[in-house]
Amino acid sequence: MTDTTTSSAYDADKVIAIDGPAGSGKSSVSKAVARRLGFGYLDTGAAYRALAWYVLERGGDTADADAVRAAASDLPLRQRLDPDDRRVLVGGTDVTAAIREPRVSAAVSGVARVPEVRVQVNEMFRAVVADAEYPAVVVEGRDITTVVAPDAPVRILLTAAPEVRAARRAGELAGQDAAAVAEALHRRDASDSAVVDFLHAAPGVDVVDSTELDLPQTIDAVLAVIRRRRDADKEPHHG
């Protein structure tokens, strides 16, 4: 799926795992946290969006599992881990903006529904982390805390009330009807939650609810969890 090669073993200790639904602020928060700590940043949703874009560019339909599997088998994907450089490349094409287009947003759930593709993509994420030239990588998505890195020392579910998430997403998408944005967000939640539960924290996962928090407060809350978890992990354990 990617031209990334791994030369070292995957190390879950390098992962700061952050999950959350659309509009929860996980991308903005994860980037800011990575920047503050000097860590890498991996937007796993961008990989699925890039695959959806690739299927569509090939004239395929993301509802067709065979078309998705075929595209995934030779997707030349590259993602940068610099939180200030979010470029996503498919072959020689910069698709950073294209993968945020409405046609891709409407199609991305289809690629995420194919189990074999999810396994393949998750292995790619682990390989990227293994080879990252950062002390740790903030990995954000929908099933990072439960599937990609269930053994990471820091696992956070970032959430907010549905109406707050819809308002935030509408604010990000200038010029689009707020009601339509809210409806699209609710449809995305319903579709994606059939594949993975990103609305409820698994055991051992810390919840940060940003409903009543602004962005700086949410960043501080996530940083506090990271400090607490990483400090606890360093404490000696007595048998």
Q: Are strands 15-19 and 137-141 parallel, antiparallel or unpaired?
A: parallel
Strand partners, 19: 141, 157
Q: Is 161 annotated as a binding residue?
A: no
Any binding-site annotation on 22?
A: yes
How large is the C-alpha radius of gyration of the chain? Answer: 17
Q: Please tell me whether 24 is known to bind a ligand.
A: yes
Whether residue 173 contacts residue 28, with contact meaning beta carbons closer than 8 Å, is answered with no
30 is in an annotated binding site: no
Query: Is 25 labeled as ligand-binding?
Result: yes
Q: In what order do the strands lie in the sheet with 88-90?
A: 77-79, 88-90, 93-94
Three-state SS at 159: strand
Confirm whether residue 7 is marked as ligand binding.
no
Known binding residue 21? Answer is: yes
Is 23 annotated to bind a ligand? Reply is: yes
Task: List alpha helices for the chain, DSSP H.
Answer: 26-37, 44-57, 65-73, 102-112, 115-130, 162-172, 178-193, 215-234
d(CA 5, CA 3): 6
- Binding site listing: 20-28
- Binding site listing for ATP: 20-28
